[in-house]
Amino acid sequence: MHSHKGCGPKVLRRTLLKGMGALAVAPLMAGLGAKNVFASQPGDKPRIGNKGSHNTRLVLLGTTGGMTWWPGSTRASNSQALLVGDAMYIIDLGFGSCARLAEAFNFGHFITIGGQRTQLELSTFLSNMRAVFFTHLHMDHLGDYPTFLEIGARAGYAKKQPLVIIGPGDRGRLDDNLSGYKGTVIQAESCNPPFTTPTPGTKMMTSHILQAFAQTFNDCAQDEGYPDIPKIIDVREIGDPTAIPWPSGFVIPDPGKPWTSDITCPAMTPFEIYKDDRLCVTAILVDHYEVYPAFAFRFDTEDGSLVISGDTGPDTRGNLQKLAKGADVLVHEVIDDFWIKASFKGVKAGEPAWPLYHHVITAHTSTADVGRVAQQCGVKTLVLSHIAPANAPVARLRLAQQNFSGKLIVGEDLMEIGIGKPQGRSKA
């Protein structure tokens, strides 16, 4: 039991409350005879569950993107779970995705006492979670990361081994200021202590999350026995020479020179960022225009291969085509071409809507282009995700089929996609 040094009044109040709680519960428990307690029953079935028709399964947890809430849609922001046997992996954690994660996989153990059904203990449905991958550091891909770090720890991640978290390093400088913004730069660059950067990488972001939510993290650890989170996560950055080296020939932007889109996505060869006994993960830069670095990831398992494009424009200097060559499944971002034309009709440089329009047409891939990209990659199945706007009609999204001869799937939250041959057992 820990002590509350120097917190006199709080100790008194909290000790009192705990004492009252114990007193209130005691008569209830004493009144329950053994004959009223029945054996543990199976928990409510999660929507997806830990067994499926395929050994390698992709589960779409969030299928929209963009820094907005789209009216008329319940799609969560971008996130995927990948299951290989009983091992789980997550790619991106956009806002709303943790609720989907629980909906997909959370299960409990329930008992009936005196006719009352009740859950026993807390669920640890994430105990086979091995790694989390971030394609790039935009909130529609990591808004639920703080929730995952804290609530996920209690749900069992890192129960068996430290949880590996891999994402981009510090970008090194801000994007071009296309909107003429003259306001506050958060964490503006400082070469003096505490050496702030306006573009923190995955390690600094994680450490800032722990600081910002310190009250919750500390309270849950000390009062409720939550795990020692800084000790059970293994955060690695793509670009950190101490963790994962940049591939040779990689171009690191020179902060002293004007930045162009050309150096955010130089042509390169895929490089390995993670490997275990279930899969190998390779990465390559894609072109999220001035948003740098942005990666696509490829996951190769004994059953087949899956590529997640991350956020990218259609021209990656051939990088995505190299990474995704011959893959079974390509999950690619998409933006509705009809919506772009309707929303930004006639907009000109210098007008208020122009910066967003510029972002939309340079940093993302439209329905008109995505099929062609998938065709060039030679993938069997194209899954549209990161669908923007989230309320775009499915029929319009299906126009992506025009330039693609393979199978087209318009992604939905909690859609499950098997990779490789079915195992010949029914879905749990």
Residues that bind Zn ion (CB under 5 A): 65, 138, 140, 311
- Compute the least distance from the CB of residue 150 to Zn ion, in Å: 23
* CA dihedral for 333, 337, 342, 346, sign (positive or negative): positive
Sheet-wide strand order for 41-42: 41-42, 109-113, 116-120
DSSP letters, 379-399, are: -SEEEEEEEESTT--HHHHGG
Nearer to Zn ion, 140 or 303 (CB): 140
Of 93, 180, 192, nearest in space to 134 by CA: 93
- Compute the least distance from the CB of residue 65 to Zn ion, in Å: 4
Nearer to Zn ion, 101 or 419 (CB): 101
Q: Are 336 and 389 in contact (CB under 8 A)?
A: yes
How far are the Cα atoms of 17, 142, 206, 299, 313 from residue 370, in angstroms, in the given order?
Answer: 59, 24, 33, 20, 9
Nearer to Zn ion, 48 or 388 (CB): 388
- Compute the least distance from the CB of residue 387 to Zn ion, in Å: 11
Of 384, 287, 274, 409, nearest in space to 334 by CA: 384
Nearer to Zn ion, 220 or 291 (CB): 291
- Compute the least distance from the CB of residue 311 to Zn ion, in Å: 4
- Compute the least distance from the CB of residue 63 to Zn ion, in Å: 11
Q: How far, in Å, CA of 418 to CA of 329, rounded?
A: 10
Q: How far, in Å, CA of 255 to CA of 259, rounded?
A: 8
- Compute the least distance from the CB of residue 114 to Zn ion, in Å: 50
Q: Are 416 and 100 in contact (CB under 8 A)?
A: no
Nearer to Zn ion, 140 or 328 (CB): 140
Nearer to Zn ion, 140 or 369 (CB): 140
User: At a CB cut-off of 8 Å and minimum separation 6, what does 194 contact?
Assistant: none
Nearer to Zn ion, 200 or 420 (CB): 200
- Compute the least distance from the CB of residue 213 to Zn ion, in Å: 23
